[in-house]
Chain A
Amino acid sequence: MQMTNKPLAIALLLVTSCALAQSPGKKAPSVTMAPVEPVTVTRGKGGAVSLHFRVASGFHINSNTPKSEFLIPTALKMDAPTDIVLTKLTYPQGAEMSFPFAPNEPLSVYSGDFTVSMTVRPLHTVQPGKYAIHGDLKYQACDNAACYPPKHLPVDFEVKVLKGATPAGKNPAQSPHAHR
């Protein structure tokens, strides 16, 4: 294919996939998560983790703070070992968007890419090693003409805990959780 035809092909591909996505029931909505590099954290200290999600083209999901009590917020629920603390779970602000089904009531939504961040802090008691952190992202998607039942996206990443300075006069206990 000649270089000059590439933009044409890309444009057609984009709009065709968009049109398919907008036809209710013809394409299932999806949210995917980019692979996360293992997070290396020294015990007793915090490390930042960013989870990058992508909403399929043509769909949107509610933000974490939708504008109506009846809307289902996007929410990340993590299940970490008790001595690895997850804090500062931060959702991006939703984009205020109007849709053909409610032109006068802008909704707070995520579409395209969005990032949820948090801080991982292994307690001093954690044995150095690798730990798997699991969770799920609950979301409910719509397109311009229809909505789809809530879904759960499994979320996994790995935390590598390094040995930090042992607090004076303390004997670190064993973590109750087995290594992966």
Chain B
Amino acid sequence: MKRNPAALFFVAAVVAAMLFVGFHAARRAGGDASADSLDVAGKPAPDFTLQSLDGKNIQLSSYKGQAVLLNFWATWCGPCKIEMPWFVELQKEYGPQGLQIVGVAMDDASKEEITKFVKEMGVNYTILLGKEAVGQEYGGVNVLPTTFFIDRDGKIVAREFGLQSRSLFVDNIKKALSQGHAVQAQK
């Protein structure tokens, strides 16, 4: 039987496109994301002290009793910019329930440039100036954004690489808020 190469190519392209879309739909549904988180879930979030944009030393463990969304980002990272308005809203919505969003800028840019960027984005949550050593503690942070969800006891609930859906963030925030013991943060 003779086969038409163009038709075969078309069929192959359609099948491959379906696989591609299916793969991404599964990611969006959280299937792959939970696999990403498996190796860190339940482990204590490494503690660190970093400087905030207003010059204060902030220790991660000072948020014990609160759930923390720890977001590694950079000014040069386009996908990170998409998440920032979501984080602004989520901080407003879940802050009263005990959520603290912390952005760690993994940037070579100056403090002034980062401050300018953060102001332009209308950020209402804590931004810290990142250090390579802290990134290493969190597995290298070779992909931005990388986001960790930490429960009230300081344990990692989930980790997400790259831009994810807002609904996945909400699910992980709810999980982080529901785990561990709520205590008054000592700040």
Which residues of chain A have a CB within 8 Å of any CB of chain B? Answer: 3-8, 11-12, 14-16, 18-19, 22-25, 28, 70-72, 99-102, 107, 140, 142-143, 145-150
Do B143 and A148 have beta carbons less than 8 Å apart? yes
Nearest CB of A to B156, in Å: 16
**Cross-interface CB contact of B12 among A8, A70, A72, A148, cutoff 8 Å:** A8
- Residues 1-45 of chain B: 1 if any A CB is under 8 Å from the residue's CB, otherwise 0? 001011011011101110110011001000010001000000000
B161 touches A24 (CB 8 A): yes
A140 to B12, alpha carbons, bound, how many Å? 33
Name the segment of B46-54, B74-82, B94-102, B179-187 touching the other chain.
Answer: B74-82
The answer for the CA separation of A22 and B23 in the assembled complex, in Å, is 10
Write 7 A-B pairs (CB below 8 A) sorted by A numbering.
Answer: A4-B5, A8-B8, A12-B12, A15-B20, A70-B113, A146-B144, A148-B142
Do B143 and A25 have beta carbons less than 8 Å apart?
yes
Q: Please state if B32 and A148 are interface contacts (CB–CB under 8 Å).
A: no
| B65 contacts partner chain A, Cβ-Cβ < 8 Å | no
The residues of B that contact A148 with a CB separation of less than 8 Å are 142-144
Interface residues on B, range: 35 or more
Interface contact A23-B27, CB-CB below 8 Å:
yes
Bound together, the chains give a CA A146 to CA B161 distance in angstroms of: 8
| In contact, A149 and B78 (Cβ under 8 angstroms) | no
Which residues of B does A touch, CB under 8 Å?
3, 5-6, 8-9, 11-13, 15-17, 19-20, 23-24, 27, 32, 36, 74-82, 106, 108-109, 113, 117, 142-146, 161-164
Known pairs A7-B8, A146-B143; A25 contacts B78 (CB<8 A)? no
Q: How far is the CB of A111 from chain B (nearest CB, A)?
A: 14
Q: A25, A28, A99, A100 — which one has the most chain B CB atoms within 10 A of its CB?
A: A25
Distance from B138 Cβ to chain A, minimum over Cβ atoms (Å)? 13
Contact partners of B109 in chain A: CB under 8 A: 70
The total of interchain contacts (Cβ-Cβ below 8 angstroms) comes to: 103
Closest Cβ of chain A to B119, distance in Å, is 13
Residues of B within 8 A of A145 (CB): 79, 162-164
With contacts A25-B36, A146-B143, A146-B144 known, is A101 near B82, CB below 8 A? yes
Known: A15-B16, A22-B24, A25-B162. A149 touches B144 (CB 8 A): yes
B144 proximity list for chain A (CB < 8 A): 146-149
A169 to chain B, nearest CB (A): 51
A6 to B161, CA, bound (A): 35
Q: Given A16-B19, A70-B76, output 10 extra A-B contacts at Cβ < 8 Å.
A: A8-B11, A14-B16, A23-B27, A23-B32, A24-B163, A70-B109, A99-B78, A142-B78, A142-B79, A148-B142
CB distance from A143 to the nearest CB of B (A): 8
A25 — which chain B residues lie within 8 A by C-beta?
Answer: 36, 142-143, 146, 161-162
